[in-house]
Structure 1
């Protein structure tokens, strides 16, 4: 196996991994987990604001 063939095989492996990652990330099974992770920052901010308001009222 020469250097050109090796580079071709490695390129095909990387392309295959890329396609697998894209399919995994856009699958319907993962959508709810990604949506939850995307919205988690807003939930934490809301909790902190609620805690600040409660401490100010006391």
Structure 2
């Protein structure tokens, strides 16, 4: 087996992995979980400049 055969096998294996990931991402069974994960950045409270969240509930 020469280097070009190994490169061809690696390219085909990588493409098959890519196709598998795309099929997994667009499958109907994962739609709800992935939509929820996609909305996480927008669920954060909007804080004004200069304000910060206090952790632990103390007023120090």
Does the alignment reach a TM-score above 0.5? yes
Q: Greater relative contact order: 1 or 2 (C-alpha under 8 angstroms, separation 6 or more)?
A: 2
CA–CA separation in structure 1 for the residues paired with 2:11 and 2:35: 32
Counterpart position of 2:25: 25
Q: TM-score, normalised by structure 1?
A: 0.69
Structure 1 runs (4+) greater than 4 angstroms displaced: none
The alpha carbon displacement at 1:33 in A equals 0.3
Output the aligned Cα RMSD. Answer: 1.6
CA–CA separation in structure 1 for the residues paired with 2:10 and 2:41: 38
Count, aligned residues: 47
Task: Provide the secondary structure at the position in 1 that maps to 2:44.
Answer: helix
Q: TM-score, normalised by structure 2?
A: 0.67
Which ranges in structure 2 are unaligned for 5 or more consecutive residues? 48-60
